Amino acid sequence: MIFSTLYRNYQFFYNTVVSIIITMLFVSFPLFSRRKKRIKRAVSPIENSVNNETAPNPPENALADSNNEIDEMALNNASDRAKIRVRVLVAELMDDNNSVHFSSPQGFYIIDLKNNRKIKVNKNEITLKNINNKWYVNSVNLESSDILIASPSELLLFNGVIHHGRFRALCIKKRAMLINHLDLEDYVLSVLHSESWPGWPLEVNKVLAIAIRSYISAMIFKNARKRVPYHVRNTNAHQVYKGKVARHDSATLRAAIDETSGIIIVHNDEPIVAMYDICCGGILPSLMTDVNFQSAPYLARSSACHYCKKMSLYQWRLEFSKKELSEHLKKIVPTLGTLQEIKIAQKDKAGIVQKIQIIGTGGTFSVDAKKLYAVIPKLFSCAFSISGNRSNVVILGHGYGHLIGLCQWGAYYKVLDGANYKNILSFYYPNTQLKRIV
Ligand SMILES: [Zn+2]
């Protein structure tokens, strides 16, 4: 169900009943059966489900020659790409005191999916709250656990930021979730604004646009099987999504989206989980032991990236007094006492630290290295060594992030060396092809 259809439907509805809209907060109307069917389709759990229709294999050198056409593939059941919708979990209202705010200069439509009714709200602002699995709009109990919030215009602001599409507010098993439904390409552009770097040339942004689109396509593909109500969260647990932001270089980013429209990276005709990081630090992902390369062989890159060497976080250094480090470590080891020694207990061949041993006056402790991210400031990755003396500890590290997949700064320097987006993607995601979603 595309928004334009729903919107035309709303417009017709609005024009028909506007003369009898009263000035009360809400006026509800029964739905015509045809509309009911359309609205049901709009929230069907199989909306945008992805099937694995096969497309012809591309020529083997498809990535090497930038002039080659890109083969097409179907990502979902829709007849065109515009019907692919991304569902992003943007908030969870964890307790009764939580509320979120929407504004829209032309008011709102609220579609109650539980009770099959549509509500026109003639207010420019609404507050949404959840109490005991029921949604309240401006303190009015809608007696529903499942509603859609839409604006008749493109100007729908959620917590002060313009967002594309519409919002579904849904309670399942005591989780009160707010999910933004929006078009694929709008989502990719928004994420690109958050993930790209000011001043980067068009070709790097094309690389990122394709990686972002591939990642979300893979999530759509996976979640269609699980039938969860959202595909991704809006945080860097997936990809940072902040709504319709225009942070920098809007024209360049828009061009990157348009020039790569619909293109994704595939492996065995499925969209890949195209992970990416700020700087890989020269680490070889194929030597990592904590990654399931069987399910994602395209992440097992065995050629080192040294293109990011000029980036300041290719190699970094932290120094702490033992007293200062003790205070940080006590957040994960409360009984540590005063730190005496900290050393690496387990490291894989790629150089990723897995376990550390911490010795303090309170005892000896083994800690998962990933837990250090939360407590040691500016620990940019788990690829590090530890040294020091009686009073200080020095941590020397490489790269920023999980150090797997696309290296963003490496891609930037490769573009400066003359590489195009196809060369770059084939380097960072080996044994993959590019296809265009149709
Ligand atoms: Zn790199």
Structure tokens at 252: 């360049």
pTM, whole model, 2 decimals? 0.79
Distance 353 CA to ligand 1 centre (A): 18
Measure 50 CA to ligand 1 centroid, in angstroms.
32
Burial label, 279 (beta-carbon count in 10 A; 0-12, 13-18, 19+): buried
The Cα 307–Cα 299 span in angstroms is: 18
**For residues 435 and 264, is the Cβ–Cβ distance under 8 A?**
yes
Q: How far is the CA of 304 from the centre of ligand 1 (A)?
A: 8
CA of 86 to the centre of ligand 1 (A): 29
Phi, psi of 218 (to 5 degrees): -65, -40
For residue 10, give every residue at least 6 positions away whose Cβ sits within 8 Å of its Cβ, in sequence order, or none.
109, 150, 152
d(CA 284, ligand 1 centre) in Å = 10
Positions of E strands within 294-352? 315-321, 339-347
Distance 222 CA to ligand 1 centre (A): 28
Structure-block tokens of residue 242? 């902040």
pLDDT in 10s for each residue of the chain, 438 residues = 333 333 333 333 333 333 333 233 333 322 223 333 332 222 222 222 222 222 232 232 323 333 346 676 665 544 455 578 899 999 998 776 688 999 999 999 999 999 999 999 999 999 999 998 999 999 999 999 999 999 988 789 998 889 999 999 999 988 899 999 999 999 999 999 988 988 999 999 999 999 999 999 999 888 877 778 999 888 877 778 888 876 666 899 999 999 999 999 999 999 999 999 999 999 999 999 999 999 999 999 999 999 999 999 999 999 999 999 999 999 999 999 999 999 999 999 999 999 999 999 999 999 999 999 889 999 999 999 999 888 999 999 999 999 999 999 999 999 999 999 999 999 999 999 999 987
Sequence-distant (6+) residues with CB within 8 A of 292 are none
Report yes or no: 149 and 110 within 8 Å, Cβ to Cβ.
yes
For the chain, the structural domain boundaries read 3-54+86-184, 185-301+404-437, 315-398
CB 230 within 8 A of CB 285: no
Whole-Å CA distances, 70 to 64, 185, 264, 321, 374: 12, 18, 10, 55, 42
Task: Tell me the two tokens of residue 404.
Answer: 């797997």
Q: Provide the token pair at 6.
A: 């729903």
Please provide residue 429's backbone torsions phi and psi, each rounded to the nearest 5 degrees. -125, 80
What is the Cα–Cα distance from 202 to 197, expressed in whole angstroms?
A: 11
CB 99 within 8 A of CB 129: yes
Ligand 1 midpoint to CA 425 (Å) = 13
- Between the alpha carbon of residue 33 and those of residues 42, 113, 120, 147, the distances in Å are 14, 14, 18, 18
| Torsional class of 431: left (φ above 0), alpha (ψ -120 to 50), beta (otherwise) | left
> N- to C-terminal Cα distance for the chain?
16
